[in-house]
Amino acid sequence: MLKIENLHARVEGREILKGLSLSVNAGEVHAIMGPNGAGKSTLGNVLCGREGYEVTAGTVTYNGSDLLALEPEARAAAGVFLAFQYPVEIPGVNNTYFLRAAFNAQRKARGEKEFDSMQFLKLVREKLKVMQISDELLHRAVNEGFSGGEKKRNEIFQMAVLEPQLAILDETDSGLDIDALKQVAQGVNTLRSPERAFLLITHYQRLLDHVVPDFVHVLADGRIVESGDKSLALKLEEHGYAGIVEGAAA
């Protein structure tokens, strides 16, 4: 589904990704772990087409086509979703209105029929139930005045409604208490399916107690320096990044 080869990317003139390669197949859950400054968030932002992230070398192929050539909205319509590390507050835009606009824009881009408000409301109610999220979120402006946990839950809720093929969670677990963390994890587990892949970008191992990954990669200094199964995360927890990063460099 996703094939990243030798990706180099710069932010503000500084090279952050230095030859990153990664393959993700449908149905797989990959955890990308690494110390601060390794380039974890840059990877998520590059994949979603954020301005200011300049790709200087390498390729990203998504379902056989060049992902980097697409505008952010086209990537979304193609099924790529980023759960933001810091979701933006948008006063004056109602959460449901926003989500329906996004949902219908994606459908329109794919040549599918748009949902009217009744159809959409029905879908939203189902998702709320499955995700065990309170409908109070729907009536507020997008993320406005939300607590950290509410913002992250709202990201997961959007993911549930938009049903992406490739979901990238950028440190969605950071700053959450254990209940919120469990809720986010439960959301991800609910959405796991043979057609959908996840990229969980995280600093800590604790999310992986609740979402068991198929693969764990260690990202350091802009490259993946080690890959393994879920036991690698436990090893990291025990020894810290220092041992692994140094070991890989040697």
Partner 1 sequence: MSQPAPLPLVESLLDAPLPGSGIAWLDVARRENREAFAAGGLPDTRVEAWKYTALRALGQRSFAGGDADAQARVVDPSILALPGVEGPRLVFVNGVFRADLSMLDGLPAGLTLQPLSQALHGDAEPLRFALSRPALIEDARETGDAFTRINAASAGDGVVLRVAANTKIVAPVQLVFVGAAAESALAWHARNVIELGEGAELSLIEQHVASGEHTHLATLVSDTELREGARLHHTVLQNAAIGASMVRRSSVRLHARAQATLHVLELGGALVRHDLRAVLVGDNARLDTRGVFMPHGRQHIDTQLAIRHQALNTTSSSNWRGVANDRARGVFRGAIVVAPGADGSDASLGNKNLLLSPGAEIDTKPELEIYADEVKAAHGATVGQLDERSLFYLRSRGIPLAEARALLTAAFCRAVLDDLPNETLREHLSALLVAQLPA
Residue 191 binding partner 1, by CB under 8 A = no
- Return the H-helix or E-strand segment holding 212: none
Residue 50 binding partner 1, by CB under 8 A = yes
Q: What tokens appear for 206 in the block?
A: 């604790």
Sequential DSSP letters for 62-96: ETTEEGGGS-HHHHHHTTEEEE-SSPPPEEEEEHH
Options 93, 191, 212, 248; binder of partner 1; rule CB under 8 A: 93
Neighbours of 107 (CB within 10 A): 14
Residue 17 binding partner 1, by CB under 8 A = no
We find the least distance from the C-beta atom of residue 236 to partner 1, in angstroms, to be 29
Q: Between 58 and 87, whose beta carbon lies closer to partner 1?
A: 87
Closest CA to 67 of 26, 109, 7: 7
For the chain, the farthest-separated pair of C-alpha atoms sits apart, in whole angstroms, at 60
Taking a C-beta distance cutoff of 8 angstroms, is the pair 209, 217 a contact? Answer: no
Residue 91 binding partner 1, by CB under 8 A = yes
| 148-167 residues near partner 1, rule: CB under 8 A | 158, 162
Q: Between 57 and 90, whose beta carbon lies closer to partner 1?
A: 90
Residue 69 binding partner 1, by CB under 8 A = no
Applying CB under 8 A, which residues contact partner 1? 48-51, 71-73, 75-77, 81-82, 84, 87-88, 90-93, 98-99, 101-103, 105-106, 109, 158, 162
